[in-house]
Amino acid sequence: MWTDLLILMKQEMALIVLIFIIMFLKLGKERSNESYIKIVNVLLLINLVVGFFWNREGMLFNEMFRTNPLMVLEKSILNLAMLIISMQSYSWLKAHKHVPEFYMLLLSTMLGMFFMISGGNFLMFYLGLELSTIPLAAAANFDLTKRRSSEAAMKLIFSSAFSSGLLLFGISMIYGTTGTLIFSELPQYLSNDPLQIFAFILLLAGFAFKISVVPFHLWTADVYEGAPIAVTSFLSVVSKGAVIFVFVSVLYSVFQPIAESWYNMLFVLSLVTIIIGNLFALRQDNFKRFLAFSSIAQVGFILVGITGSSDIATTSVIYFVLIYVFSNLAAFGVVAVVSSMTGKEKISDYKNFYQTNPVLSWVLTIALFSLAGVPPTAGFFGKFFLLMAGAGKGNYLLISIAALNMVISFYYYLRIVKAIFMDANEKPIAKINVPLMPRLAFYVCIAGILLVGLISWFYDHIFALVTGS
Amino acid sequence: MVPVLLILIPLLAGIASFFTGSEKTARFWALLASLFTLLVSILGLTILKDPSYLAFETSWLGSLGSSFSVKLDGMGQILCLLTAISYPIILLATWHTPHKKANNFFGLMLLTQAGLMGVFLAMDALLFYFFWELALIPVYFLCSQWGGERRIAVTFKFFIYTFIGSLLMLVGIIYLYTQTPGNSFAIADFYNINLPTSEQSNIFWLLFIAFAIKMPVFPFHTWQPDTYEQTNYATTMVLSGIMVKMGVFGIIRWLLPVLPAASYAWGDTVSTMAIIGMIYASLIAIRQNDLKRLVAYSSIAHIGLMCVAIFAETESGMQGVMIQMFNHGINIIALWIVVEIIERQFGTRKISELGGLAKKMPVLSILLMIVALANIALPLTNSFIGEFLMFNGIFGSTITKYNVVFMVCAGITIILAAIYTLNMIRRVFYGETNEITANAVDIRENEKWILIAVVALIFIIGVYPQAILNISSETVNEILKEADITPYLIGK
């Protein structure tokens, strides 16, 4: 029992230990921010490494908690994202008063996500979701002196509470019509019963809020803009990634009996999401708002992949999230460094950025190309696999519209590249000395963007885990 | 190993070039790399002809049925040779043109070459698409960072155009992939797909638009004159000499054999579009005052003829396209070299502002005359044999009812080509000198020797075209066999 507990829940255990270590560090003698950040980063690295050993399949607490190598991999992806974010926000955190609290909040959020991913029961899932939401709202308020930051936290907590309400309502109806909340037992009780469909719609709305699918996306831009960049990147990568992982597994396993119904819903949602996300991204000048809308469009693409409902679809979605971690975090990282050094967050500030900061410019350019889905970056493969997965259902209208939307997204990503390299500017952003930590993070991201796509092992490995062979 | 080297040498050399220091080093490095590539390409044609050297395959995304499969077949040999030969010519001809951030410029040029080679070598649809897009990225930076004043807006147009095409093609490829038995991207499996004609037609247009934008075929050509006008010369040479061949190549390898029934059904439509484009472009070329735009429009006319000849689906026509792809690349690069010399000396490309160059620049005039005559396909020059074969193929086509109409209409453009080319020569090189051209001096040594080398190539191929026709004949027959529509006609 105890060895089971330790091995199956190793990643959760590691996180809990980490949180406690940070707490004790805080209680101990005064320390400089730098030493905190360094210690925590080393611990996060250890935490990430833990995910690669002793992987087993198993269940605990009457199926409340289940795990398998695929889930471990999903959690490792999130761990990696957390590590990169922590390294990138080095310069911002260094000047902050409450470093340990920041880490404790984000790590608690991660813990909630892990339980959510591993949940084998809607109760566990809900518990994990809540644990991952409330600390995040506090973290969004972490630019303590800025009003916008508080506003963002307020908006986040309200919209989260609302979506949690929808989710709970849906879950209760599911329980009412089936008498169980255990994932493995649910499919046999589900049919195209109108009440169950209604319950599913409520659940879907709850999920859609979390991953900001149109029309549940209205909070996204404001929260992204107001929150500190570290939290924004966490929101856009880790928190979205986690919910997408859960969404895929719940859709494909629990709601398989009503697949036809949700296929149509997702079809409409994905198209609307891509188109609206793209159209709004076209007009943004604030870099964070821009990334918010572009990430909405990216989620639309993920939905296209999810409609495929096959092993290839699962693989492509997980693969895409992995790539999205690298590409989006590279972009956010540059914005974070520039913002913390100069306070500039507008796209128009980046005009002629190349002249003063060639390395950062290339990092940002490669990241944007990857987000746009241009070879040889990994983003191309990610989008390609998503489209292929979506094509599995034979719906070429969806695929064609999605593909044409890639042109629109290409346009606005290219607009930034153009600003960086070609637009004239008397006073470009001054030369920035990037500290070691963020620089390392950039290297990791760029290596990820360039290698994960070209080396097919990553995709094949995820595919093998998904099919269980 | 040859195909892998053809991709790897420019790729690695291109990456390394970003780290070279001075302009001179970067230039030498690029020249060295491109000469090395040329050497490998020639070795592949001569000593290493054994099939085991010319193909390479290794697993890549096995779970999706894709592999890293590259092979040099006849058509690949010709186009890779063109790519390999063009680069030293381009680099030497623009040897004295200064480039700011030269190491980046030459790095991007070499990366483009790697992408182009990949397109011509790929035997896997996913790999083909990958290289197809890959070749674009360095070109984006080349077009937008070096060139005329309006380059940024023009590059945007060019890119949005090609990107729309590529993504439509991507949808088409994914559709075809799902139709292969056992889901695979291999070209052999694509050739074995047997779809009903109506389905083929949809996919046909998805793929054709991508290729048509690249070539460009009327009415997808509007990006081209602007782009050629605004980019700098070395890039223009790559774009017009090699990159347009991606479209022609794509149709021959990935469209005709994969979707034979649709190619048959829509062949006349496509040929009509191409012929409208040819006449239209030739008429505009007659009225052009800008040398760069003149060459650009004349290129549209030449490519249009290739398109008609492909859809005639005869051996002669197809052989003509093969040899003409090579010739067109060489000739148009030579034309650009001349235009660059003129613009650099006089600071203008306007035909109306020039005149009387023949007196001041005798060497250039003679060389240009030969290149221009090759451009209008005079006998003894390389284009003559290509155009002759293509016209012969169009005339002898059994696949279309309108072969005579097509041939006559396309034939008109030969006359039009003579009009605009000779008219240009008359106005630029003969007549009286004016204050702009009064102090002209003849061309530099490097330019002279490069042009002489090109002229020599023009004559060699013109006199002995069999060398190239032998390389491609096997591929042509294979493709025509795959594109055979008899099974579909019997079904009806």
Determine, yes or no, domain membership for B477: yes
**How much is the average pLDDT of B442-471?**
87
CA distance B348 to B240: 21
Residue contact A380–B133, C-beta within 8 A:
yes
pLDDT tier for residue B47 given thresholds of 50, 70 and 90: confident
Of A399, A411, A463, the CB nearest to B171: A399
Residue contact A388–B152, C-beta within 8 A:
no
Count of domains for chain B: 1
Spell out a b/e string for B361-394, using b for 16 or more CB atoms within 10 Å of the CB, else e.
Answer: beebbebbbbbbbbbbbeeebbbbbbbbbbbbbb
* pLDDT of B487 higher than 80: no
**How much is the average pLDDT of B126-143?**
89
Q: Would you give the end-to-end CA distance of chain B in angstroms? A: 45
Determine, yes or no, domain membership for B90: no
The pair phi, psi for residue A119, each rounded to 5°, is -60, 135
Of B156, B159, B175, the CB nearest to A391: B175
CA distance B17 to B35: 15
* pLDDT of A429 higher than 70: yes
B223 touches chain A (CB under 8 A): no
Instruction: Count residue pairs from A and B with Cβ separation < 8 A.
Output: 78
Structural domain harbouring B465: 287-492
Percent of residues, chain B, with pLDDT higher than 70: 99
Residues of chain B positioned with their CB less than 8 A from the CB of A315? 63
**How much is the average pLDDT of A268-284?**
90
Spell out a b/e string for B122-146, using b for 16 or more CB atoms within 10 Å of the CB, else e.
Answer: bbbbbbbbbbbbbbbbbbbbbbbbb
Q: What is the ipTM of this complex?
A: 0.85
Tens digit of each residue's pLDDT (9 = 90 or more) over B221-267 = 888 888 888 888 889 999 998 999 999 999 999 998 898 888 888 88
Q: How far A436 CA sits from the closest chain B CA (Å)? A: 22
Q: Which of residues 187-206 of A touch B (CB under 8 A)?
A: none
Answer positive or negative: Cα dihedral of A19, A21, A22, A28. positive
Residues of chain A positioned with their CB less than 8 A from the CB of B145? 421-422
pTM: 0.90
How buried is A441 (Cβ within 10 angstroms: 0-12 exposed, 13-18 middle, 19+ buried)? buried
* pLDDT of B491 higher than 70: no
pLDDT tier for residue A469 given thresholds of 50, 70 and 90: low
Q: How far B145 CA sits from the closest chain A CA (Å)? A: 7
Determine, yes or no, domain membership for B348: yes
Percent of residues, chain A, with pLDDT higher than 90: 25
* pLDDT of B482 higher than 90: no
β-pairing, B67-71 with B55-59? antiparallel
Q: How far B166 CA sits from the closest chain A CA (Å)? A: 9
* pLDDT of A231 higher than 80: yes
A407 touches chain B (CB under 8 A): yes
DSSP B377: T
Determine, yes or no, domain membership for B46: no
Tens digit of each residue's pLDDT (9 = 90 or more) over A125-159 = 999 998 988 898 888 888 888 888 888 888 888 98
Q: Which residues pair with A119 in a beta bridge?
A: A65
Tens digit of each residue's pLDDT (9 = 90 or more) over A380-415 = 999 989 998 888 887 888 888 888 888 888 888 888
- The whole-angstrom distance between residue A25's C-alpha and the CA centroid of its chain comes to 29
More confident residue, A428 or B4: B4
A307, A314, A388, A411: best mutation site toward chain B, by most B Cβ within 10 Å?
A388
pLDDT tier for residue A330 given thresholds of 50, 70 and 90: very high
B106 touches chain A (CB under 8 A): no
Determine, yes or no, domain membership for B10: no
Using CA atoms, how far residue A374 sits from A98, A278, A370, A384, in Å, is 40, 17, 6, 10
pLDDT of residue A78: 92
- Mean of per-residue pLDDT scores for chain A: 87
pLDDT of residue A60: 82
Q: Which of A28-37, A203-212, A346-355 has the lowest mean pLDDT?
A: A28-37
pLDDT of residue B99: 82
Tens digit of each residue's pLDDT (9 = 90 or more) over A166-192 = 999 999 999 999 888 888 888 888 888
Residue contact A410–B63, C-beta within 8 A:
no
B22-27 contacts: CB < 8 A, separation 24 or more? B22/B102, B23/B98, B23/B99, B23/B102, B23/B103, B25/B103, B26/B102, B26/B103, B26/B105, B26/B106, B26/B107, B27/B91, B27/B95, B27/B102, B27/B106
pLDDT of residue B440: 76
CA distance A269 to A214: 7
3-state secondary structure of B139: helix
pLDDT of residue A1: 66
pLDDT of residue B490: 67
Q: Are B337 and B410 in contact (CB under 8 A)?
A: no
Tens digit of each residue's pLDDT (9 = 90 or more) over B328-348 = 999 999 999 888 888 888 888
The pair phi, psi for residue B183, each rounded to 5°, is 45, 95
3-state secondary structure of B67: strand
Of A391, A404, A460, the CB nearest to B174: A391
pLDDT tier for residue A269 given thresholds of 50, 70 and 90: very high
Residue of B nearest to A458 (CA): B61
Residue of A nearest to B65 (CA): A460
